């Protein structure tokens, strides 16, 4: 079973004026308007389909609108992104510019030091869209907030990485198994508090798939149920509060109400037909 979550945030679509451009070894595409960040996209021995180009523009517009809503329109710097079509070139670049020892299975990353998104895209890749949206979220969030708990950073990236743009609508599809796993954790106040109280880890490899799913679940719940509280919680963490303190201060009724509400939300999804 798939649970389809529709995103209702209003956003402006960027113009489609770059589709007809011939793609060379390196091409810069800049999508921007007067009120938002743009994207400087370099394509290295690869190309994007019309559908992928649409996704790049629409995902960027949606994310910029969302992050500006939370933090204010404070960034003018373009987001830099490089997309490699050859695995060997991607691996070489990643080894030279990250601390990751084994990059062979890496599909993409965001580098805070280089301030760029880097993606490997093989022909007819099914993962380019989600990888692009995921890493772009890291890039914008890093511009807006230079610190935070890992679950927020990764949860937002997972949330935007799961979005699909089709027929003028935006939706996210989540399997019933994932919803079941999420509910098994959020139903317990102790388990949820333990997850939120865990210290920020330096290595992303410590994040299990279950923790990525739970991070997505927290963001998804806050986005759809109380965006104002979500903004307060994120701003609290960006101002040096830990997760529990930020939720206690930013969510109406504190953690007790937060747990009650998120438990009810995922229980309704878990047992819906």
Q: What is the pLDDT of residues 50-81, one digit of tens each?
A: 999 999 999 999 999 888 888 887 777 889 99
**pTM for the predicted model, two decimal places:** 0.84
Q: What is the pLDDT of residues 182-192, one digit of tens each?
A: 999 999 999 99
* Domains detected in the chain: 13-144 (3.40.30.160), 170-270 (no CATH)
The pLDDT value given to residue 4? 43
Give the chain's residues under pLDDT 50: 1-30, 32-35, 200-205
Tell me whether residue 17 is exposed, middle or buried, using C-beta atoms within 10 angstroms of its C-beta: 0 to 12, 13 to 18, 19 or more: exposed
The pLDDT value given to residue 173? 74
> What separation in angstroms does the CA of 31 have from each of 12, 17, 18, 54?
12, 9, 9, 11
How many percent of the chain have pLDDT more than 70? 82
The pLDDT value given to residue 60? 93
Tell me whether residue 234 is exposed, middle or buried, using C-beta atoms within 10 angstroms of its C-beta: 0 to 12, 13 to 18, 19 or more: buried
Number of Cβ within a 10 Å radius of residue 99: 9
Residues near 260 by Cβ (< 8 Å), separated by ≥ 6?
253
The pLDDT value given to residue 199? 59
């Amino acid at each position: 079973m798939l649970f389809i979550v529709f995103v209702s945030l209003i956003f402006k679509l960027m113009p489609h004026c770059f589709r007809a451009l011939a793609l060379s070894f390196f091409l810069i595409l800049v999508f921007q308007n007067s009120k938002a960040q743009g994207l400087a996209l370099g394509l290295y021995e690869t190309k994007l389909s019309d559908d992928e180009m649409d996704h790049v523009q629409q995902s960027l517009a949606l994310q910029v609108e969302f992050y500006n809503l939370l933090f204010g329109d404070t960034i003018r710097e373009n987001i830099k992104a490089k997309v490699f079509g050859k695995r060997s070139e991607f691996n070489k670049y990643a080894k030279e510019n990250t601390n990751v020892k084994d990059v062979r299975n890496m599909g993409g990353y965001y580098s805070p030091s280089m301030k760029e998104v880097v993606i490997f895209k093989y022909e007819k890749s099914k993962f380019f869209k989600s990888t692009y949206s995921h890493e772009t979220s890291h890039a914008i969030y890093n511009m807006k907030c230079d610190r935070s708990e890992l679950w927020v950073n990764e949860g937002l990236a997972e949330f935007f990485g799961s979005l699909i743009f089709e027929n003028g609508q935006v939706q996210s599809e989540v399997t019933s198994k994932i919803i079941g796993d999420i509910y098994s954790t959020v139903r317990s106040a102790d388990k949820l508090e333990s997850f939120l109280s865990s210290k920020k880890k330096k290595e992303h490899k410590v994040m299990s798939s279950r923790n990525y799913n739970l991070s997505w679940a927290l963001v998804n719940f806050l986005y759809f149920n109380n965006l104002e509280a979500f903004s307060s919680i994120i701003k609290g963490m960006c101002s040096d509060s830990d997760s529990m303190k930020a939720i206690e201060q930013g969510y109406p009724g504190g953690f007790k109400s937060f747990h009650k509400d998120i438990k009810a939300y995922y229980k309704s999804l878990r047992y819906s037909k």
